Amino acid sequence: MLRNRSLLIAEIPHLRRYARSLTRDADAADDLVQGCLERALGRFHLWQPTRRLRPWLFTIMHNLFIDTRRLRVNRTPALPLDEMHRPPSQAAGQEHHLAAQAVLRQIDLLPTEQRDAVLLVGVNELTYAEAAKVLGIPEGTLMSRLHRGRTKLREQLGMAGKRATANPQDAIRRVK
């Protein structure tokens, strides 16, 4: 059990990252992680050691998050809006920050199903099969949500068709 507990502790940073991406609020994210850990401990006997621990924990957390999301329908995630509308004359780091926040903002405008897929796959190191399991959908469904979500994002971000100058990724890398 000591070993299991240390395995659980080792997963906490990943749980916190996923939670942060879901809630966008540090306190809410840590509450979510806490709830997830409590639930996981309560049903640890159900975890099969042959399976990876992380997807199992993510599934618990995702379900927990859905439960709380239902309670606050239509409340958009708390984003630092003020930061996003500053004039683009700031330092490179700031510019990069704005770019990333703008991407997040567009992700949050996606239909919930697509948002979940884009965030889960993009931020966490899971296989597609594992990610599908976390979301409780078949892998094919995950792929089509991912595709629709990302295609929409490209449109919303004005990426599609503007490749000549393009490469926001370079911009992102450059300032890292």
Partner 1 sequence: MTKQSTTITADDLHAYADGKLTPMRAAEVEAYLAEHPAAAAEVADYQSINAAMRSVFDGVLDEPIPSAQVAVVLDRRPRFAVPAAAAVAGMMLGAGLTWFAQFGAVSPEGVALAELAEKSTAAYVVYAPEKRHPVEVVASESDHLSAWLSNRMNMSFRIPRLGDLGFELVGGRLMVGDATPAALLMYENAQGRRLVLYVRNDLPEKADTAMRYGRAQDTGVVTWTSGEAGYGLAGAFSQKELLPAAQLVRAQLAL
For 29-40, letters b (16+ CB in 10 Å) and e give: bbebbebbbeeb
Distance of alpha carbon 147 from alpha carbon 117, whole angstroms? 9
Of 9 and 136, nearer to partner 1 (C-beta) is 9
Which pair of tokens denotes residue 126? 């899971």
Q: Kindly write out the interface string for residues 109-128 of this chain, putting x where it contacts partner 1 by CB under 8 A and - elsewhere.
A: ---------xx-xxx---xx
Q: Among 61, 110, 134, 153, which residue interacts with partner 1 (rule: CB under 8 A)?
A: 153
DSSP state string for 123-135: HS---HHHHHHHH
Which residues in this chain contact partner 1 in the complex, by CB under 8 A?
Answer: 2-3, 5-6, 8-10, 12-14, 16-17, 20-21, 30, 33-34, 37-38, 41, 96, 99-101, 103-104, 107, 118-119, 121-123, 127-128, 143, 146-147, 150, 153-154, 157, 159-160, 163, 166-169, 172-173, 176
